[in-house]
Structure 1
Amino acid sequence: MNIKVINIPLFKQKALQWAAKFDTACYLDSNNFTDPYGKFDTLIAVGKKAEITANTGNAFEQLEKFREDNPGFIFGFFGYDLKNEIEDLQSSNHYGLNFPDLYFFAPEIIISIKGNAVEITGADADIVFKTIERLELSTVYNANELDLKSRFTRPEYIDTVNRIKDHINRGDIYVTNFCQEFYAEHAKIDPLLIYQNLNGLSPTPFSAFVKWDGNYIICASPERFLAKRGDKLISQPIKGTARRDADLETDQNIIKQLRNHPKELQENVMIVDLVRNDLTHSAKPGTVKTEELFGIQSFKQVHQMVSTVVCEIRDDVTPVQALKNTFPMGSMTGAPKVSAMQLMEQYERSKRGVYSGAFGYFSPDSDFDFNVVIRTILYNSSNKYLSFQVGSAITYHANAAQEYEECLLKAKAILEVLGQQEIDTAKRI
């Protein structure tokens, strides 16, 4: 069923509220960012005809079979710790969320929005549309109950970054992404309201609200991990962050500084090289290329340096294999990739789980699109554990105190929607 809708913003609000009532649902919103590789402005999936939950071992193999059995749309995530299945690695850090390493579902109803065109597939499309149109937007919400803590104090974070830099000086690694967790136990939040506020405060092209079995992913990601469009694979790693400023001239100067900052350029080009190498495992020989290097994308909270790397996929590589061949994404690991991941398991104090993983979809035409799960609140409503992590690239030129401030800059929107203007970093385990 295809419908033209005059007031798309209002329809999206109602559709989100309608979707959030299902036990299993996801809402993906590009927030009208211009994207040559985006197929949809908004994509909504609810209900489940089938699902798969898997942990490290043979998760990718199980997903391959699930994909064969469900050739239509499927939605889900890859947790970062699937790295242990791909490489000889392990994860033994604390993990309060208890999410699986992989989860996908085949939805009962799909709503796609492009421009003012709405397409509904599955069930009785006419009834679905009328139900959404008649919905009265709710203004009732529950206040957050949070005691937010950090796994690192500021001095501990700075000391750890300096120890990581010792490894760089010795040549063990060139660049890494060091992450820290902020968390709350016995947490009570209104996940839908939190997402609406976060998406309003920090609209991004890979925003997502995901719900399954009482678990939530509340995501304001600006980054694409990997997409497939026909025979083309596209990866767009982000490395390089700078604040926004209300004064236009100052804001433009910040962009210039970001574009010419040695440390930011260094970390971006290192990850581009890593992504190029990852793509060779799926690419037709000679097709890997960098379409754009050091591009600047501006979001409501920050400016980001984004590069675009593409290739043509080999005929013998399945979509699931293409994702496995590049996972985890280079922007969240470092280089050399395996050495960086090993070191971060040593220095980080939390298992990353879904954070640093990817959420997205496979479509019926064998295309796919997956984001990088960053700028994201994760919530298990059963054990009332809330978590978000932030990371920063550590290179030879990194200043530990500045990297800590960059982490707080990345967390700014999340802290605001959680009603936490500041983090007391003395509160930790």
Structure 2
Amino acid sequence: MKIIPVKYIADSSEYFERIKDIEGAVYLDSCSENSSYGRYDIISAAPIETIISKNNETSIITKEQTKTITGNPFAILQKQLNKYQFADSTESPFSGGAIGFFSYDLCRTTENIPSITQDDIHLPLMYIGIYTWALVTDHHRKETKLITHKTDSETEEILRKLTTEITTRQETFTATNINWNQNYKDYRQALSKIKNYITNGDCYQVNYSQRISVDFSGSSWALYKQLRKHNPAPYSAYLKTEYGDILSSSPEQFLSVKDSLVTTKPIKGTIKRSKNAYIDQQLANTLRNSQKNQAENLMIVDLLRNDIGKAAEIGSIKVEKLFDIESFEGLHHLVSTITAKLPPKTNAVQLLKACFPGGSITGAPKIRAMEIIEELEKYRRNIYCGTIGYIGFNGNMDTNIAIRTSVINNNKLYYNAGGGIVADSDIEEEFKEMHTKTYVFISQIKNRTNTTKK
């Protein structure tokens, strides 16, 4: 393994622009050098292996061959990671390994969830690249390093691409015909059914969402740059795949593993911010003290403690923070923090499988909530409410909850928004909150140009 210092640039997207058109380019983006929530940015491209799960089969693609096998995608991923034994002498969280996405609908491989919703986007259940180099930016230390397991000549070529200046040009996109898949009448009907299920004892909470679709043409990267500028979020990501481009502005961490320490930070509770500092603080206090939001948050904390307990050391699970406020551009969130420790023979992939999908975007009890989601939502969620992130050769992992995440596929952009429904939810207020969550995104897709480099 080689570790090569590279010039620190606070805006690491400048590096990504230089390699974004290489096959398998990935960008895990904390969006801000000063963020208290995000520290690292990770950039890579040209995976030595791509693992794609679709239709009960998983394809393992290399330059030499494509091999298709059956079996659980999580187990297949771990088997492929086990093939690569690289020495790791760096403090970096990622020095090579798996980067990609796990669609929400991967839950069908671990739970007996019925197939009712329409699958009109056809994303893979799992799309993972195995990467043997990464450009890692540490914003706390103001350092950028190229970490590589490549040959000397391959490393020189990567460095050349990363450090060669490229010309500035203006890239544009066009987004028109924004359509919600439900009107208020349909939404009210669905939420009434959920509240009936809660009254009858089927569940305590259901995370219900709806989707917008937009006619899209032009540069997805230009749109992503708009989003990271106006809606920076610490678990953002940009991935280019043959199935479409994935743009995530997620504020929510799903699962992190660092030296066997597990952390998860579920979000339940959101309120729009004000530009007036006094009013903004009042809004944050309103969210913090909301009994409804506290009840929702606590349900998910209990659910995640149970999920993590399937893989963690007995007695190691702790709730470090309960009902904390984290503030982002445009929104305050109610966040709790849970930690645990993995036993020596349990790896990050096993933890991910035990907890997937994240409880903050399903409801409780988890399986029944997922069945109700399948009954009432019109379309498969695909990447929405799945997860994006990395699992390193060194056993470390960091993943997001793929909310505020869009897919651009065949000149269409798809974006979901939702919220947790409980017994005392006010249907009209839930409808308003869902539209609040999409406000920043919709405002940015109307802003059609961005200066980028080529």
TM-score normalised by L of structure 2: 0.87
Distance apart, 1:126 and its partner CA: 4.8
Structure 2 residue aligned with 1:147 = 177
Residue 94 of structure 2 corresponds to residue 68 of structure 1 = no
Whole-angstrom CA distance in 2 between matches of 1:373 and 1:305: 17
Q: Which of 96, 99, 104 is matched with 2:128 structurally?
A: 104
SS in 1 for 2:217: coil
CA shift at 1:108, angstroms?
5.0
Compute the displacement of 1:70 (Å).
3.9
Contact kept, 8 Å, 1:244 with 1:303, in 2: the verdict is yes
| Amino acid aligned to 2:46 | G
**1:415 — aligned with what?**
442
- Between the aligned partners of 2:187 and 2:270, the Cα distance in structure 1 is 19
**Counterparts of 2:316 and 2:132 in 1: how far apart (Å)?**
38
Q: CA deviation at 1:143?
A: 3.0
1:284–1:143 CA distance, 2 compared to 1 (3 A) = closer
- Say yes or no: does 1:83 pair with 2:107: yes
The answer (yes or no) to whether the contact 2:136–2:145 under 8 Å persists in 1 is yes
Q: Which residue of 382, 399, 402 corresponds with 2:429?
A: 402
Task: State the partner residue of 1:180.
Answer: 210
Structure 1 residue 158, shift from structure 2 partner: 2.0
Higher share in strand:
2
Distance 1:420 1:88 in 2: 42
* TM-score between both structures, scaled by the size of structure 1: 0.92
1:183-332 equivalences under 5 Å are 183-184=213-214, 187-213=216-242, 215-332=244-361
* Contact 2:81–2:393 (8 Å) recurs in 1: no
Q: Which residue of 2 aligns with 1:427?
A: none
Give deviations 1:374-396, integer Å, cap 9, x for gaps: 0011112xx32321101111011
Match among 400, 408, 411 for residue 384 of structure 1: 411
- Range with bigger deviation, 226-235 or 104-113: 104-113
Q: Read off the aligned partner of 2:183 and give its amino acid letter.
A: T
Separation in 2, partners of 1:2, 1:131: 14
- State the alpha-carbon separation in 1 of the partners of residues 130 and 196 from structure 2: 47
Unaligned regions of 5+ residues in structure 1, if any?
A: 422-429
**2:15 match:** 15
User: Post-superposition shift, 1:69?
Assistant: 2.4
Moved over 4 A (4+): 123-127
* Alpha-carbon separation, structure 1, partners of 2:431 and 2:303: 25
Q: Could you say what secondary structure the match of 2:293 adopts?
A: helix
Asked if the contact 2:325/2:335 (under 8 Å) is kept, the reply is yes
Deviation at 1:356, TM superposition (A): 0.6
CA contact (8 A) 1:238 1:331 kept: yes
Q: Secondary structure at the match of 1:148?
A: strand
In structure 2, C-alpha distance between the alignment counterparts of 1:414 and 1:91, rounded to whole Å? 30
Deviation at 1:6, TM superposition (A): 5.3
Cα distance per residue 1:314-368 (max 9 Å; x no partner):
2232221110001110001100000000011111111001111001001221110
Q: Deviations over 1:252-274 (max 9, x none)?
A: 00011001111111100000000
Task: Indicate the RMSD between aligned Cα atoms, in angstroms.
Answer: 1.9
AA paired with 2:41? T
Matching residue of 2:28: 28
2:168 is paired with a residue whose SS is coil
In structure 2, the CA distance between the partners of 1:339 and 1:420, relative to structure 1 (3 Å rule), is farther
Q: Distance in 2 between matches of 1:333 and 1:211?
A: 27
Letter in 2 for 1:22: I
Query: Does residue 5 of the first structure (1) align with residue 7 of the second (2)?
Result: yes
